[in-house]
A = this chain, B = another copy of it.
Amino acid sequence: MCRWLAYSGSPVSMETLLFMPKHSLVVQSLHSELGAEPTNGDGFGVGWYTDDPQPGLFKSSEPAWNDRNLRELSRHIDSGRVFAHIRASTGSPVQQTNCHPFRHDRWLWMHNGYIGDFAKVHRDLLLQVAPERFPEIEGSTDSEMFFQLALTAGLEDDPPLAVARAVGLIEEVGRAHGVTFPIQMTVATTDGKRTWAFRYSSEGRSRSLFHSTDISTLREHYPDNVLLNMVSDDARIIVSEPLSTLRGAWREVPDGSSVLVEAGTQELTPFAPVPWSVATSVPSSAAPVPAMAAVPRDQSGQAIGT
């Protein structure tokens, strides 16, 4: 089982975000939890946005939290959008090319979970990746394949639909190979401006997903918290693990939902797979089409923290 966090808001030191256990909303619990979790030593990765058109990536196949380079970089890099992931391999080799987040142009992607019986379905899924995308695949994980499927399905144009289609394909191919539960996932993706996170599993018992609530309210309750005082009101964090430190700080994303964080707002939406074929005849840059009605995104979620 992997773990991840996605931050967006005013630029903060990555050190504060990732390492300061006494002062940080996030790592305060995440870090101690990490200490208690034996199986997250199979590498890690961090992605962050600067003025460069492409986000930066730092990945290592070694255990994360003792890594000196990560500490150094975190101390010297501020960013307003950070993805961080620690990996627990479910079988594929421990190597940098298998570390999350994965990147395509301005997009980052990270995943906690698995594609069921990946060895069985790997080839069939790979054949669905757009041939021109093929050379971009560097590693051997189910998570990178999932990303490439979502890109093929139009992630850059309509992330929720693209993820829903990729999940639809994974379930379809899995079932064709007799896999009972073809997917288990929490996924985060961003273009550097908006962050989407998804919680879903074929089994209906998905891994956990939480997002932070309104910072200004929290700040009133916890006036001494350093991170709360460092970040702006529009800061939001999405994490794969429940953080218990600050009561009222975290809300669970319901199973079968996605959350969109943008400019200090978050919006919950139901999430369910759609058939891979749904949008194939639709130009990816086209306006929304009837087929999209199949995506249950239009039952819009309630605003949170208001």
Contacts and interface: CB of A to CB of B under 8 A. Distances in A.
Contacts of A95: 93, 95-97
Contacts of A36: 38
Interface stretch (A17-25, A59-67, A197-205): A59-67
A171 to B, nearest CB: 20
A38 B36 CA distance: 6
A83 interface: no
Nearest to A92: B138
Given A42-B66, A134-B122, A75 B97 contact: no
A69 B69 contact: yes
A220 interface: no
A294 interface: no
Contacts of A123: 131, 134-135
A301 interface: no
Interface residues of A, number: 46
A190 to B, nearest CB: 16
A68 B96 contact: yes
A282 interface: no
A181 interface: no
A279 interface: no
A94 interface: yes
A66 B94 contact: yes
B76 A48 contact: yes
Contact of A63 (B63, B137, B139): B63
Interface stretch (A50-58, A158-166, A235-243, A261-269): A50-58
A289 interface: no
A48 B73 CA distance: 11
Contacts of A139: 140
Contacts of A94: 62, 66
B89 A66 contact: yes
Contacts of A56: 72-73, 75-76
A37 interface: yes
B41 A93 contact: no
Centre residue among A35, A61, A95 by max chain B CB count within 10 A = A95
Interface in A120-172: 120, 122-123, 126-127, 131, 134-135, 137-140
Interface string A170-185: 0000000000000000
A96 B137 CA distance: 17
Interface of A: 35-39, 41-42, 48, 50, 52, 54, 56-63, 66, 68-69, 72-73, 75-77, 89, 93-97, 119-120, 122-123, 126-127, 131, 134-135, 137-140
21 contacts: A38-B38, A48-B76, A52-B75, A54-B75, A56-B73, A56-B75, A56-B76, A57-B69, A58-B72, A66-B89, A68-B93, A68-B96, A73-B73, A76-B77, A95-B96, A122-B135, A123-B131, A123-B134, A126-B126, A127-B127, A140-B140
